[in-house]
């Protein structure tokens, strides 16, 4: 029967983050392996960085050593308590495991904290008790004692897999060709509330293909957003300078009521009537009488996929009016047979998210909860909700972030292919007829 920890999922995540994104592997559990000093040392010495967790009443007390416990050798110990989601810490000094887990009070100038496993007591100085907010008793009873080996969540093997996946995604996107070559470049429209991260997503995509962090599209920090013009951004391949087969289109953010982007402007963008650098009018949408209005756009000028961009942490703050507006725009897109996805940004700002969670995103409980909340409130199908962590203040590229960004972009291009494939023949000229004929010949 597997030995399991008494820590809750939330407590384990807090401790993992606190000691530097470590995986906790349970080595010793007193109620299973015995309340015995020697049993603890036999199982826990020479195991690398180690975390000891004591359960005493309502208190969870931890002792973390960055060095492996080795009998007779001194190691620095960090002592802390976990109360709710708050950690109180204080340095304990250096000691050997024999001193830390002493069977009786000993005199040692370097430490004033002992874990007496055999007698199920934690003994510490009054100063330590005060620093940790534990009350007044110098000796506290132990209901349970667990010791964990602390391993890096991101080991070399995992990072090698991430690096290879990044390389594969870059190659696939650089050589991507839109369905049936109906257009040379896919146009993806980024829609979303003001400040959701639309411009940041473009900057992040560009950074990955350039090979360094860039900020071509200006990103603001206030709640009014920065995109007041319609912008169509082509992206160049950093390796050879060639233009990549997609264009990201940035627009004015969505606001409540009549604030932000007009629905009529969205229709004009979808149909290719609005040119690059068009300055949105805050009082009225564009009309066919406007001097920059494109009267007869071709398929290459139209939008082929829409990506709603949302801050992953924002859904609980959406008003009923904002939710109604987004649902209304989705109904409009469905009316125009426009494929669309949702893109959740600021993923790394979700509480207790680690870089390892970003690697195994499909298994991360907190991310799943966010995705399900967006699905429930806004109506997106779960497979159509993508997640990324944009570049904001970083100086260097991160392969883990790159994989999320490239994976989301690939899903958008697949969605755009679906849109092109579903277009009626009269909207594609003879190109689609030729594709169908080639397909029929292939069957024969």
Cα 211 to Cα 44: distance, rounded to the nearest angstrom? 44
CATH numeric code, 156-442: 3.40.50.300
Among 178, 269, 285, smallest CA distance to 231 is for 269
Cα 444 to Cα 442: distance, rounded to the nearest angstrom? 5
What pLDDT does residue 338 have?
96
**362 Cβ contact list (under 8 Å, min separation 6):** none
What pLDDT does residue 440 have?
58
CB 141 within 8 A of CB 54: no
What pLDDT does residue 92 have?
66
CB 247 within 8 A of CB 187: yes
**338 Cβ contact list (under 8 Å, min separation 6):** 270, 303, 305, 306, 419
Cα 170 to Cα 406: distance, rounded to the nearest angstrom? 7
CB 63 within 8 A of CB 78: yes
**410 Cβ contact list (under 8 Å, min separation 6):** 169, 172, 173
What pLDDT does residue 221 have?
45
CB burial readout 39-69, b (16+ within 10 A) else e: bbbeebeebebbbbbbbbeebbbbbbbeebb
Among 257, 273, 277, smallest CA distance to 265 is for 273
Among 22, 43, 152, smallest CA distance to 97 is for 43
pLDDT in tens, the chain (444 residues): 678 999 998 888 888 888 877 889 999 999 999 999 899 999 999 999 999 999 988 889 889 988 888 877 888 888 888 887 788 877 666 777 877 887 765 555 456 788 889 889 888 877 877 777 776 666 788 999 999 999 887 777 788 889 999 999 999 999 999 998 999 999 999 999 888 888 899 999 999 999 998 887 665 544 444 558 899 999 999 888 899 999 999 998 888 766 688 889 999 999 999 999 999 988 889 999 999 899 999 999 999 999 999 999 888 889 999 999 999 999 999 999 999 999 999 887 777 677 777 777 877 888 888 999 999 999 999 999 999 999 887 888 999 999 999 999 999 999 999 999 998 877 776 665 565 555 555 555
H or E element in which residue 98 lies: helix 97-100
Among 280, 277, 241, 289, smallest CA distance to 262 is for 280
R_g (Cα) of the chain, nearest Å: 29
Domains of the chain, by residue range, sit at: 9-61+117-152, 156-442
The number of beta carbons lying within 10 Å of the beta carbon of residue 139 is 12
Cα 351 to Cα 149: distance, rounded to the nearest angstrom? 24
Cα 106 to Cα 436: distance, rounded to the nearest angstrom? 86
């Amino acid at each position: 029967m597997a030995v399991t920890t008494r820590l809750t999922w939330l407590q384990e995540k807090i401790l993992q983050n606190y000691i530097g994104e470590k995986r906790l592997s349970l080595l010793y559990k007193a109620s299973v392996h015995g309340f015995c000093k020697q049993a603890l040392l036999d199982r826990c010495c020479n195991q690398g960085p180690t975390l000891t967790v004591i359960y005493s009443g309502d208190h969870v007390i931890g002792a973390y050593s960055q060095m492996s416990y080795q009998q007779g050798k001194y190691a620095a110990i960090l002592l802390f308590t976990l109360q709710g989601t708050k950690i109180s810490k204080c340095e304990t000094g250096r000691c050997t495991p024999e001193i830390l887990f002493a069977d009786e009070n000993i005199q040692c100038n370097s430490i004033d904290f002992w874990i007496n496993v055999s007698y199920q007591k934690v003994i510490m100085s009054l100063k330590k008790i005060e620093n940790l907010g534990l009350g007044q008793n110098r000796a506290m009873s132990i209901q349970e004692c667990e010791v964990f080996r602390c391993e890096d969540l991101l080991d070399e093997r995992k990072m090698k897999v991430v690096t290879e996946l990044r390389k594969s995604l870059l190659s696939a996107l650089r050589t991507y060709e839109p369905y049936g070559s109906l257009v040379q470049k896919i146009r993806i429209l980024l829609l979303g509330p003001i400040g959701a991260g639309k411009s940041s997503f473009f900057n992040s995509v560009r950074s990955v293909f350039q090979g360094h962090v860039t900020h071509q599209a200006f990103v603001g920090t206030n709640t009014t957003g920065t995109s007041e013009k319609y912008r169509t951004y082509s992206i160049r391949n950093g390796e050879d300078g060639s233009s990549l087969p997609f264009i990201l289109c940035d627009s004015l953010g969505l606001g409540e009521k009549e604030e932000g982007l007009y629905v009529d402007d969205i229709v004009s963008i979808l149909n290719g009537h609005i040119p690059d650098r068009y300055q949105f009018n805050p009082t009225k949408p564009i009309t066919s009488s406007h001097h920059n209005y494109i009267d007869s756009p071709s398929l290459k000028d139209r939008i082929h996929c829409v990506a709603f961009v949302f801050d992953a942490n924002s859904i609980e703050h959406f008003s009923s009016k904002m939710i109604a507006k987004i649902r209304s725009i989705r109904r409009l897109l469905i009316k125009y047979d426009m494929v669309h996805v949702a893109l959740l940004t600021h993923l790394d700002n979700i509480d207790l998210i680690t870089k390892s969670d970003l690697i195994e995103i499909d298994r991360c409980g907190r991310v799943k909860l966010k995705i399900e909340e967006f699905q429930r409130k806004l109506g997106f199908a779960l497979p159509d909700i993508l997640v990324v962590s944009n570049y904001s203040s970083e100086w260097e590229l991160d392969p883990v972030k790159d994989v999320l960004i490239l994976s989301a972009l690939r899903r958008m291009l697949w969605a755009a292919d679906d849109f092109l494939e579903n277009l009626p023949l009269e909207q594609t000229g003879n190109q689609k007829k030729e594709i169908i004929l080639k397909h029929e010949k292939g069957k024969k």
